[in-house]
Amino acid sequence: MSISSLHDIEGTQSVANESETGAPLRILHVIYSLSLKHGGPPEGLRQLAEGYRQEGIDVEVVSLDGPEEAFLKELPFKVHALGPVKSVYGYSPRLLPWLRTHAEEYDAVVINGIWQYNSLAAWRAVKNRLPYAVFIHGALDPWFKERYPLKHLKKILYWRAFQYPVLRDALAVLFTTQTEKEQAALSFRLNRWNGVVVPYGTNRPGGDPAAQKEIFFSSCPSVRGRCFLLFMARIHEKKGCDLLIEAFSRISASAPDLHLVIAGPDQVGWKATLEKQAERLGIKDRIHWPGLLQKDAKWGAFHATDAFILPSHQENFGIAVAEALACSKPVLISNKVNIWQDVLADGAGFVDEDTVEGTHRLLTRWLELSEEQRLEMSQSASACFSARYSMRNAARAIAVMFQQYLDTNRKRKSKKR
């Protein structure tokens, strides 16, 4: 591909999304897991699948989830679940043979994520057979290199032998922002690949907001009738939860009626430490922990909150930020969330440093707004989403990228004849 950004082709008409047989383009996504406890990539793929459906593109997914997982039965697309697997790396003896057997049933493949076996197996199965792209999902951000230097040394060995070739041979390495694309090249010396920026986001929620709020309040009854800010992400050091609690304690006396909801799965067992922090700071009763919120409960939380806050140390995109904007909610984010420039440009929220002081400034600036100013920012949030973060654009752009390659390759073969 000669383009540097899939935004360049996102406006292309969807009629191009047909294979050479005249049938709809068939795309296979390969991912470690579709469980929402794994954060943004599973949610992003679920939303992207809806974008594909709207564009008339056939999508199937192969994952390493156990086939008995209940959430798989609720998904509106076909999933080949080849797990369960016993490690974070996700080695499965079934994956590579399955991919080699079934690869020719698809026109193209998208690998979701790196550092796990699914990316290596997909590369081995489809290189020189099918065009494929790789979604990095923030995994090459230099923050990880700086924060975990010993782990990075181990990664260097794996990178040279296994991971780098997956990216080098791809038709495209997909990034969700220009910032993510630029930073990815800083993590390793071997870094030649065809990186492109894809339009990314989510879909506006359907359903009745009032009913969804009631479902949320049933999951978190202690905030019914209260004003609260919403944090929704994995309970993880990377997300800046400790910064948020410390900063919230500093404004708690001046905003005695404001509460904080910290929603998300406790993947690394950090919640207990954070609860002790809140108790030490005297704000334990002002913070609420409903756990992982899904479907209507999740959307109800967005609809019920005053604003969304995410003081993260690293976010290649931040799917929850787009979800908040889709619900017309202002976002208070750090400048390590890579769509922060869009938020500032559109007046959809506030941005500051990923420090206690920066998070405190976010909260203070929000509290200083009048009701009229908050309403204007909510309207700007909705407009920001509409202009930038429709997942249908992502589906269309990815499909057109593959279709252009397939058409060019077919013409090349015809000339040889």
Query: What is the tens place of the pLDDT at every residue in 155-201?
Result: 999 999 999 999 999 999 999 989 999 999 999 999 999 999 998 88
Tokens of 401: 């990228």
HSE-CB at 91 with a 13 A cutoff on CA atoms is 1
In this prediction, residues 308-322 reach a mean pLDDT of 94
CATH 3.40.50.2000 domain span(s) along the chain: 6-201+390-416, 209-388
pLDDT on residue 416: 72
Q: Of the ranges 57-66, 135-144, 242-251, 326-335, which one carries the lowest mean pLDDT score?
A: 135-144
Q: State the pLDDT at residue 411.
A: 86
Q: What is the mean pLDDT of residues 114-119?
A: 96
Q: For position 231, what pLDDT does the model report?
A: 98
Compute the chain's Rg from CA coordinates: 22
| Residue whose pair of structure tokens reads 């492109």 in the numeric block | 196
| Residue tagged 């609720």 (tokens) | 74
CA–CA distance, 26 with 109 (Å, rounded to integer): 9
Question: Could you tell me which CATH class the domain 6-201+390-416 is placed in?
Answer: alpha beta
Whether 19 has a pLDDT exceeding 90, the answer reads no
| pLDDT value of position 414 | 76
Out of 5-19, 112-126, 275-289, pick the least confident.
Answer: 5-19
pLDDT greater than 50 at residue 9:
no
| Interior angle at CA 139, CA 138 and CA 145, nearest 5 | 115
pLDDT band at 6 (very low <50, low <70, confident <90, very high): low
11, pLDDT greater than 60: no
Q: Nearest Cα to 261, choosing from 245, 272, 279? A: 245
Question: Could you tell me the two tokens for 318?
Answer: 């931040």
The CATH number of the domain covering residues in 209-388: 3.40.50.2000
The structure's pTM equals 0.79
- Those residues whose C-beta lies under 8 Å from the C-beta of residue 413, and which sit 6 or more positions away, are none
Mean pLDDT computed over every residue of the chain: 93
**pLDDT average, residue stretch 27-44:** 93
Which tens digits make up the pLDDT trace of 76-110?
A: 999 999 999 999 999 999 999 999 999 999 999 99
CA angle 402, 404, 405 (to 5 degrees): 65
Q: Can you state the angle between helices 209-219 and 295-304, rounded to 10 degrees?
A: 100
Q: Find out whether 35 and 417 touch, Cβ atoms under 8 Å.
A: no
pLDDT greater than 50 at residue 14: no
Closest CA to 398 of 114, 26, 79, 138: 26
Average confidence (pLDDT) over 261-279: 96
End-to-end CA distance of the chain: 24
For tokens 């390759």, the residue is: 409
Q: What is the per-residue pLDDT for 409?
A: 87
pLDDT range class, residue 10, cuts 50, 70, 90: very low
Q: pLDDT tens digits for 351-408?
A: 999 999 999 999 999 999 999 999 999 999 999 999 899 889 899 999 999 999 999 9
